[in-house]
Amino acid sequence: MSVYIGNLSHEIEDEDIRQVFLMYGSVKRILVSTKQKSGEKRGFAIVQMDKDSDEVAAINGLQGTEWMGYSLKVNRAKTVVDAA
C-alpha cells in the first residue's frame, strides 16, 4: 500500500513531505509527480512507508490538514510505487 497526498503546493519538495510523514513512521520512498516536458510539479505525490500501519496512521492524521495554504487530500494510492 502507498499513500496518495494531493492538493499540494507546487513549491513542495521531497524533504518537506519526508519530514511530515516521519511523524508517522519510516518513509521508504517519495514520488512527487511532475509534468514530463516542463518538470513542473503537478500538486500531488505518492509516499511509501515501511509498515501498512504507519501509512494508515499518516492517512488518518493528515487528511484535511492545512499545509502551505492548501487543504490536503490523503488516502490510499491507486498507483503502486515500484522499487526502482
List pLDDT tens digits, range 27-68: 999 999 999 999 999 999 999 999 999 999 999 999 999 999
Helix (H, G, I), strand (E, B) or coil at 49: strand
Question: What pTM value is reported for the model?
Answer: 0.87
* Domains of the chain and CATH, by start: 3-76 (3.30.70.330)
By the 8 A CB rule, do 6 and 76 touch? no
| Torsion over CA: 55, 60, 62, 64 (sign) | positive
Under the banding of pLDDT at 50, 70 and 90, the label for residue 84 is very low
pLDDT digits (tens, 9 = 90+) for 10-19: 999 999 999 9
